[in-house]
Amino acid sequence: MTTNQNNRRLRPTHKLSRRQMMLSSMTTVLGAGLASGASALDPRRNPAYVPAAATPPRPWADEARDWYPPGKPGEDYAPVFTPNGATLDYKIVDDVKVFHLIAEEIVHEVAPGLVVNCWGYNDRMPGPTIEVVEGDRVRIYVTNRLMVPTSVHWHAIILPCGMDGVGGLTQPAIAPGDTFVYEFIFPDAGSFMYHSHVDPMTQEGMGLVGSIVVHPRKPERKPDRDFVLLLHEWAIEPGTSVPNPFEMSDFNILTFNGKSAPGTHPLVAELGDNVRIRIGNLSAMDHHPIHLHGYNFKITQTDGGPIPESAQWPETTVLVGVGQTRTIEFLADNPGDWLLHCHMTHHTMNQMGHDFPNMIGVDPGNIDEKIRKLIPGYMTMGQDGMESMAHMRMPMPENSIPMLGVQTQFGPTIAGGMLTVLKVRENAPGYDDPGMYDFPEGTLSHRVTTEEMEQDGIDFPKDMRERHSANEHDNHEG
């Protein structure tokens, strides 16, 4: 504390405004002009015409910021929660936050039943969330434990060019076994990302991605719940364990923080909480329209900065393009279990939901039995959508996940993939899964009898009457 406090006193504590800068440089120019005649205004003759001070310091420069000590969790900010993820640890050395990322091959579970060999940072995919405060100075060491050269790009962070992490442009790539250091100041609060910038198709595709959260130094308001979700997509052939980063269109594993439903941890909030969800997208090829049930929300930030309140509009679906972050906020005033999912329907499928012949509406009779004599384990798919897949556990290759979604008191959701559940409860002090929602009486859609419908003046379709009654009978007996 002692040495650095002394150093700090020598630094400017208030940045000059752009207007102050302009005024001071104009005074210089006018002064020079008066002293030595009109030629002094000619920039070629008078170097003072473009004084260095005329350019405001870049936002990442020490001179451009108010000098604060490193932001502390619990004091300067309420930490974010990365479902299924983690936050990167740091040490403080001479008022600098020191981080260490290790790029490496990892073994990662996408959902129960599917374990893949992908790449990540510090044994995780996505890498741990880097969480700092506006104005924090960081030193981030990046060690390359891979077989190939790599680098880390700090996506959408305004920093000195040489810290941008683009292998071949702003630095040589980090060779296998080497460590590079990145040192810079985070000038702006917001939601950002990091990822490899050497052969991005392969390296991002294999999982070298992560989230960055920069808290404001003096927040106007702190959310009660602050979630981080990073979107990704993979092509993993059923029965194999290595993603194919060369795939261009047919992705069969869609993930929030590296997990497909039912592997996704729910987002838990207490009734009345202000909820913030920061969503970033480092998929290879797809933008994802992320839809929330039960709420409308405001899009309050992009990775370019905060959106003025007057320019925010209500939404229930936010399109998060590749390479973008979108931050949404809402008041959790509607209790229940609410889906949060990509609205591209193929993105709520797991591996075994693709490439079937279209048998919708076709009764396959005993064709399965006949074909099974030729192909053991054969099963016709599609005649009832993915229903049979979800319930029957059809014979599947090892290490692959069927279309089983989130398990509830009503069965599984026949939708998985890029999907999770927002759970809003009267009492939910932490982020732990509070279990299934207890629906208040009279608020739950339910089965009715023919009689009840007729009492409500509905003419029951004649062709359906018999079946309806039979179902009632079955139900009664069951």
Binding site for Cu ion (CB under 5 A): 288, 342, 344, 347
Residue with Cβ nearer Cu ion (253 or 342):
342
Check: CB of residue 54 under 8 Å from CB of residue 22. yes
- Least separation in angstroms between CB 249 and Cu ion: 13
Residue with Cβ nearer Cu ion (46 or 84):
84
Residue with Cβ nearer Cu ion (101 or 352):
352
Residue with Cβ nearer Cu ion (216 or 417):
417
Helix H or strand E segment including 118: strand 114-121
Cα 138–Cα 141–Cα 145 angle in degrees, nearest 5 = 155
Structure tokens given for 288: 């994802």
* CA–CA gap between residue 114 and residue 162 (Å, rounded): 40
Check: CB of residue 207 under 8 Å from CB of residue 125. yes
Residue with Cβ nearer Cu ion (148 or 414):
414
- Least separation in angstroms between CB 254 and Cu ion: 6
- Nearest of 390, 389, 397, 416 to residue 379 by alpha carbon: 389
Helix, strand, or coil (residue 106) = strand
* CA–CA gap between residue 231 and residue 281 (Å, rounded): 5
Residue with Cβ nearer Cu ion (215 or 288):
288
- Nearest of 379, 423, 368 to residue 402 by alpha carbon: 379
- Nearest of 338, 335, 339 to residue 424 by alpha carbon: 335
- Least separation in angstroms between CB 351 and Cu ion: 15
Structure tokens given for 28: 């210089």
β-strand partners of 247: none
- Least separation in angstroms between CB 52 and Cu ion: 48
- Least separation in angstroms between CB 404 and Cu ion: 19
